[in-house]
Amino acid sequence: MMDDFFIRALIAGTGVALVAGPLGCYVVWRRLAYFGDTLSCAALLGVALALLFEINTTLAVFSVSVFISMALLLLQSRVNLSADALLGLLAHSALAVGMVALSFMTWVRVDLMGFLFGDILAVTPFDIAIIWGGGAFVLIVLVISWHSLFAATVNVEIAQAEGMKPDQANIVLMLLMAVVIAISMKIVGVLLITSMLIFPAAIARRFATGPEHMALLAAIIGILVVFGGMFGSLHWDTPSGPSIVVAASVFFIITAIPATSFQMIKNASIEKRDTKQK
Amino acid sequence: MIQKNSFLISLKNAGFFRSGRWLVRGVNLTVNSGEILTLIGPNGSGKSTTAKMAIGVSKPDEGTAKKRKGLKISYLPQRISIDWTLPIKVNRFMNLTGQVRRKEADEALSLTGAIHLAKSDVRTLSGGEFQRVLMARAIARKPELIVLDEPVQGVDFNGEIEIYELIRNIRDELKCGVLLISHDLHVVMAATDRVICLNGHVCCYGTPMTVANSKEYKALFGARAVSGLALYEHRHDHEHLPDGSIQSKDGTIDNDCSPDHGDQSQIYKYSFEYNRAENHDG
């Protein structure tokens, strides 16, 4: 018989995987990986603020993520810097401010490791409610705005000309990412949040025949990865958050092995490097 | 059914300013349903910018852009690349901005000669094939206005003529308006109602039909027309100086692109004369 906390962890992980997969497809298609990293750095500032004002961590992380997203939109229209430079500025400002704020709060003892790598075994029923509530919200919004989001992803100008309101879609996507980051922080931790978004989508890409198919596959693969990582961590007594990401890596490597896909991996790493450099 | 000659889009004295210079300025244009308006001009003359302002993709920095409320537009941009991570087949691409019935999508693909590609992955298409698919997508939506930014780039020469014929047929069938951007006027000629020549401003505009229908022009409407029209572009009543200012025929230099200069009637006369002269030589 499995322990209660383990079952809670699986339920929470499944909830995150269900939304992170489909949303992760957009992260991959739109090359937003670095944006995800920026939001996760900002998540630490959210944690600091939550401790300082004694408010809910998830809410604080969400608010800071939204703030950072909007700051990015504003800076992009005002400052003559490329998006990746702006993201770097924002990410490290948020991280540094978060660290400084934490150091001031001598009265709180913070389990920094828990925030960095997640604490999935400590999820409470309340956390599960937040994850599934937030996740359901994200999925509903994603389904409703799927068409305009997708059109804007393929080509902004066509979307704009043909009345799909791409600007609105961009803001929706940023908000959804903020929600997903806030709810998945507890599962894999600040450092590994982006992996929940990217890995399932990247693995699904191998087998997908269409965009919607890829989103569905990514959700399923995300769940498999969470289960794989959780049972692995139980078996080998390893930290759960990193174990989930290790499971994802293994899954990715296995699915990428067939000879015909060799070229694709090469392309993928080039693309990834290019995105980082951008 | 769309009413013929009803107003679709217009630009009034529109200009677009970026990085310290006016890409285009003082543009007036109107597209009504059932008519084909072609924008021509050299590279960097502001053709794409003008079209984008007209359909609301970019906001003009001066002047106004008007669009009929709820206007259904199909847009075929000059450059479009599909990210390699996007798994998307032609069939799905046809429904990009709205559901199109399967039968209509297939019909449109047949019209542009791309029906055999229906199940292909968009990223594996060649430039010309993709252009045909883009064209099919634009048609299948049954738009009231169709905006085509160099729709034949990468398409082989025979395909080019077919596509221009197709544009005219679509206009006749749907009674939609067409805003066409092109730099090969010699092929466009037969399929356009009005032409606007741009070079940072409206250099000239007019109807090509009277000329295109004349016997002499048709006789000359061969390979010679290419050079004839190429010459025409440099025979405006004004010169564009390297610093961006404009020298009129009478020698006055003006920094502004005032939209009212440029003689519309000259648009075909010059190419006409030039061709005749060439013919006599040969």
> Are the beta carbons of B41 and B88 closer than 8 angstroms?
no
pLDDT category, B256, cuts 50, 70, 90? Answer: low
Nearest-CA neighbor of B135 among B119, B110, B112, B153? B112
Rounded average pLDDT over B228-247: 52
Q: Is the pLDDT of residue A40 over 70?
A: yes
pLDDT for A114 equals: 77
Rounded average pLDDT over A207-224: 94
How far A57 CA lies from chain B's nearest CA (Å)?
34
pLDDT category, B266, cuts 50, 70, 90? Answer: very low
pLDDT for B78 equals: 85
Q: Is the pLDDT of residue A272 over 90?
A: no
Do B87 and A151 count as a contact with CB atoms less than 8 A apart?
no
What is the percent of chain A where pLDDT is above 70? Answer: 92
pLDDT tens digit sequence for B63-104: 999 988 889 999 999 888 888 888 999 999 999 988 888 899
Do A162 and B77 count as a contact with CB atoms less than 8 A apart?
no
> Are the beta carbons of A131 and A12 closer than 8 angstroms?
yes
pLDDT category, B3, cuts 50, 70, 90? Answer: low
Nearest Cβ partner for A162 among B73, B85, B87:
B73
Do A162 and B52 count as a contact with CB atoms less than 8 A apart?
no
Nearest-CA neighbor of A191 among A241, A88, A116? A116
- Looking at the DSSP assignment, which residues form a beta bridge with residue B37? B179, B194
Give the list of residues 6+ apart from residue B235 with CB closer than 8 angstroms, or none: B266, B270
As a whole number of angstroms, the distance between CA A275 and CA B112 comes to: 35
Provide ipTM, 2 decimals. 0.79
User: One-letter amino acid identity for A47?
Assistant: V
Nearest Cβ partner for A29 among B77, B86, B147:
B86
How many CB pairs below 8 Å do chains A and B form together? 69
Q: Is the pLDDT of residue A250 over 80?
A: yes
| Number of DSSP helices (H) and strands (E) in chain B, helices first | 10, 12
Q: Is the pLDDT of residue B275 over 60?
A: no
Question: Which of A14-28, A120-134, B40-54 has the largest mean confidence?
Answer: A14-28
A165 — contact with chain B (CB < 8 Å)? no
pLDDT tens digit sequence for A155-176: 989 999 998 888 899 899 999 9
CATH number 3.40.50.10490 is the correct assignment for the domain at B7-72+143-213 = no
pLDDT for B220 equals: 40
pLDDT for B76 equals: 92
What is the percent of chain A where pLDDT is above 90? Answer: 45
CB contacts of B54 in chain A (<8 Å) are: none
CB contacts of A29 in chain B (<8 Å) are: 83, 85-86
pLDDT for A140 equals: 96
Rounded average pLDDT over B49-71: 91
pLDDT for B42 equals: 72
Q: Is the pLDDT of residue B233 over 50?
A: no
Which DSSP string corresponds to B30-68? EEETT-EEEEE-STTSSHHHHHHHHHTSS--SEEEEEE-
CB contacts of A166 in chain B (<8 Å) are: none
Do B141 and A162 count as a contact with CB atoms less than 8 A apart?
yes
Closest residue in A to B99 (Cα) is A147
Rounded average pLDDT over B138-143: 91
How far A181 CA lies from chain B's nearest CA (Å)?
22
Average pLDDT, chain B: 76
A216 — contact with chain B (CB < 8 Å)? no
pLDDT tens digit sequence for A221-231: 999 999 999 99
Least confident of A142-151, B51-60, B146-155: B146-155
H or E segment to which residue B10 belongs: strand B7-18
> Are the beta carbons of A158 and B77 closer than 8 angstroms?
yes
Q: Is the pLDDT of residue B24 over 60?
A: yes
Nearest Cβ partner for A164 among B82, B97, B141:
B97
Do B97 and A214 count as a contact with CB atoms less than 8 A apart?
no
Tell me the CA end-to-end span of chain A in Å, nearest whole number: 49
CB contacts of B93 in chain A (<8 Å) are: 154
CB contacts of A271 in chain B (<8 Å) are: 84-85
Chain A interface, best mutation among B88, B91, B125, by max A CB count within 10 A: B88
pLDDT tens digit sequence for A52-100: 888 888 889 999 999 998 898 888 888 778 888 989 999 999 989 988 8
pLDDT for A25 equals: 95
pLDDT category, B277, cuts 50, 70, 90? Answer: very low
- Of residues A220 and B126, more confidence is placed in A220
Domains and CATH numbers, chain A: 4-277 (1.10.3470.10)
Rounded average pLDDT over A16-29: 93
pLDDT tens digit sequence for B92-102: 999 998 888 88
Q: Is the pLDDT of residue B221 over 60?
A: no
A271 — contact with chain B (CB < 8 Å)? yes
Which chain A residues in 18-47 lie under 8 Å from chain B, judged by CB atoms? 28-31
As a whole number of angstroms, the distance between CA A243 and CA A155 comes to: 37
pLDDT category, B228, cuts 50, 70, 90? Answer: very low
CB contacts of B80 in chain A (<8 Å) are: 155, 157-158
**In the 8-state DSSP scheme, what is residue B111?**
H
pLDDT for A33 equals: 86
pLDDT for B269 equals: 40
A151 — contact with chain B (CB < 8 Å)? yes
pLDDT category, B241, cuts 50, 70, 90? Answer: low
SS3 letters across B189-256: HHHCCEEEEECCCEEEEECCHHHHHCHHHHHHCCHHHHHHHHHHCCCCCEEECCCCCEEECCCCEECC
How far B37 CA lies from chain A's nearest CA (Å)?
18
Could you tell me which residues of chain B have a Cβ less than 8 Å from any Cβ in chain A?
52, 55-57, 72-75, 77, 80, 82-89, 92-93, 96-98, 141, 147
User: One-letter amino acid identity for B89?
Assistant: K
CB contacts of B123 in chain A (<8 Å) are: none
pLDDT for A132 equals: 94
Do A157 and B84 count as a contact with CB atoms less than 8 A apart?
no
Chain A interface, best mutation among B55, B97, B142, B150, by max A CB count within 10 A: B97
Nearest Cβ partner for A159 among B83, B88, B97:
B97
The domain ranges of chain B are: 7-72+143-213
Do B73 and A209 count as a contact with CB atoms less than 8 A apart?
no
As a whole number of angstroms, the distance between CA A42 and CA A65 comes to: 6
Rounded average pLDDT over B194-203: 78
CB contacts of A163 in chain B (<8 Å) are: 72-73, 97
pLDDT for B18 equals: 84
Give the list of residues 6+ apart from residue B48 with CB closer than 8 angstroms, or none: B77, B78, B149, B181
How far A277 CA lies from chain B's nearest CA (Å)?
17
Average pLDDT, chain A: 87
pLDDT for B144 equals: 93
